[in-house]
Structure 1
Amino acid sequence: MGVGLILITHQNLGDTLLQTAQSMLGDLPEDCESMAMSQSDDPDDIQAQARARMETLDSGAGVLVLTDMFGSTPANVASRVARGHNARVIAGVNLPMLVRVLNYRHLPLSELVNKALSGGHDGILLCDQESSDAAARSSHR
């Protein structure tokens, strides 16, 4: 019994992230899914769907909700749905965050939140040659 996971994102971003993670890690847990939102969706309808899915995904360990951008409709829907439930919402989902979450799903929800945040943060790096050269010079001082 692990923490349930739902991605609530614009368009098919959540589906694409889950498909990419699956290609990297293999099979995904059954209590892991995504919901796509478009500009034409009624937020109240999506909220009702998200609430139903979240209740299905919660096997007793809680649900982690990942969304793409703070302040956006998907994030606002996720925040409203999570209120009053054993759920946490993190905005700014990226692939490193998702992979970290999938690798540590055995942890309690509160610890999984910390893993997700560190995975998302640590997965953002400047990869151009100039930054690599500067890092090498500073480590030799």
Structure 2
Amino acid sequence: MSVGILVISHGNIGSSFIDAAKQMIGQNTLKIKALDANIALDANIESTLDELYAKASLLVKEVDQGDGVLVLTDLFGSTPSNIAHRLYEKNNISVVTGINLPMLIRILSSSRLSLEAITKKAYSGGVDGIKINGTDNGGISEK
């Protein structure tokens, strides 16, 4: 068994990240799906959110292989993130926001980890993948 992965994002960011990661590392053993949360400006936001939550719930069940699901979102506090946190309350999942390509590549290269371990890999992959001028801080002071 292994952890499933669900990416919930604005537009087609999640699908694009998954496609790019698969091109770079090839096939992997983790089950991964994307939910592209497209909301029209004139949509009934409440019913749209309920529909997206229902789709996300189905996708969690689809990718869950018994060891839980890691849900990745693009922006904390946004619709995809809020849907993920609703899922977190009712399922064996972990949520990491701020997806980037290094994060996803590290996850897809790390099969057979526990939910807790793959969550830590996601976080470290995302943070380690951010560089300024090719270094960790590019000489920029954090003060």
Whether the TM-score (by the shorter chain) exceeds 0.5 is yes
Q: Deviations over 1:52-82 (max 9, x none)?
A: 1101211110000000000000100111012
Asked if 1:73 is matched to 2:85, the reply is no
- Structure 1: which 4+ aligned runs deviate by more than 4 Å? none
Q: Percent identity?
A: 38
Please name the residue that 2:12 is paired with.
Answer: 12
Q: Matched residue pairs, number? A: 133
Higher helix share: 1
Asked if 1:123 is matched to 2:129, the reply is yes
Q: 1:30 to 1:122 in 2, by over 3 A?
A: closer
Could you tell me the TM-score, scaled by structure 2's length? 0.86
Could you tell me the TM-score, scaled by structure 1's length? 0.87
Greater CA radius of gyration, 1 or 2? Answer: 1
CA distance in 1, matches of 2:10, 2:28: 21
More displaced, 60-69 or 26-35?
Answer: 26-35
Report the Cα offset of residue 128 of structure 1.
6.3
Please name the residue that 1:61 is paired with.
Answer: 67
Kept in 1: contact 2:14–2:36 (CA 8 A)? yes
Which runs of 5 or more structure 1 residues have no equivalent in the other structure?
136-141
Which runs of 5 or more structure 2 residues have no equivalent in the other structure?
none
